[in-house]
Amino acid sequence: MKKSLTKETKIPEGVEIKVHGDIIIVKGREGELKRKFDLGKIKAEVKDNKIILKDETASKKEKKIMNTVSAHLKNMIIGVKEKYEYKLKVCSSHFPIGVDVQGRNVSIKNFLGEKIPRKTKLPEGVEAKVNKEFIIITSCDKELAGQAASKFEEVTKIKDRDRRIFQDGIFMITKAGREI
């Protein structure tokens, strides 16, 4: 059954949203996020400090799209107000692990006594700080911060060894401000 649906999201003070077709730009004091959504026949507009998603003949598919876009917009708004923060802990029982961040390049040295450092890259727009055994990742974009944190976990994944004995690695302890 098709019916008229609208979904409103309040825009807080200090945040500015612009809509250009399928591209939505969110600006705040911490930065700017730009994202292209596949809205289909859904109309997006900004009125009276609210972003309104509406469709006159919406089905279940359009309702799902509206809810997804609304959730992404809320994450974008929170991100430009205050950056998302992921905390990781460097755990080593056999060999001391050294983490070195230079720009976007990350090298993890002496992991399980390996001579060659394991390397990864941070996505654009993500910052990482190392404080002894803790790594703090911050970004306006929740998805990019999560991807960067998972790259740290992935690069220190142990294969072909007993995980009960070899418990070394880098592990997330807080995700976007909440404990795991």
1 — pLDDT class (breaks 50, 70, 90): low
Give the mean pLDDT of the chain. 90
169 — alpha (psi -120 to 50), left (phi > 0) or beta?
A: left
Instruction: Please say whether the beta carbons of 176 and 142 come within 8 A.
Output: yes
pLDDT at residue 85, rounded to an integer: 94
Rounded CA gap, 121 and 110, in Å?
18
Domains 3-81 and 84-179 share a fold: yes
- Selected residue with higher pLDDT from 164 and 107: 107
Strand order in the sheet with 32-36: 16-20, 23-27, 32-36
Rounded CA gap, 174 and 180, in Å?
6
Domain 3-81, second-level architecture = Alpha-Beta Complex (3.90)
- Domain residue ranges in the chain: 3-81, 84-179
Helices within 40-180 (DSSP H only): 60-81, 142-155
The CATH number of domain 84-179 is 1.10.287.3510? no
